[in-house]
Amino acid sequence: MDKVVPSPAEAVSDLPDGASIAISGFGLSSGIPYSLLAAAADRGSRDLTLVANGVGGPTAKLIENRQVSRLIVSFVSRPRVESAAADLAVTGELEYEIVPQGTLVERLRAGGAGLAGVFTPTGVGTPVAEGKELRYFD
């Protein structure tokens, strides 16, 4: 089976509405699939869940186009930098979950390993834990 796809547009040609996209990379330079994100923005898929370290750079176009309805990140914006994600989150147009970076990485690792979930003590007893399952371990 040939796993090489001739273009970014073809690679995202079957990206359905409601899909979840996890973005690799850290910052704006390491490991980020710029051409795939641009192709996804051009494709116009809607109601996407975007999982990333943060927002900005290549993810911004998807958010500005209002193609993303849910965001799972370790931060929504940088200090003194305007962000469509922060603006849409404030108005309630974008659902978001801010997760500590280590927890985000562990959730992605566990999902990739086929584990059903991850329990972490981070956030227990804080407003972040409201409405979430609580477990006690010895």
Question: Is CATH 3.40.1080.10 the classification given to domain 8-98?
Answer: yes
Q: State pTM to two decimals.
A: 0.84
Amino acid identity at 84 = A
The tens digit of pLDDT for each residue in 38-58 reads: 999 999 999 999 999 888 777
Strand 95-98 and strand 48-51: pairing? unpaired
The tens digit of pLDDT for each residue in 85-122 reads: 888 988 999 999 988 888 999 999 999 999 988 888 88
Q: Burial of 57 by CB count in 10 Å (0-12 exposed, 13-18 middle, 19+ buried)?
A: middle
Domain ranges of the chain: 8-98, 102-138
CA 137 – CA 121 distance, rounded (Å): 10
CA 58 – CA 32 distance, rounded (Å): 8
Tell me 13's DSSP state.
T
Average pLDDT over residues 69-85: 82
Torsion, CA 33, CA 37, CA 40, CA 44, rounded to 10: 170
Decide if pLDDT at 13 tops 90.
yes
Decide if pLDDT at 25 tops 80.
no
Judge contact between 89 and 80, C-beta under 8 A: no
Query: What percent of the chain stands above pLDDT 70?
Result: 93
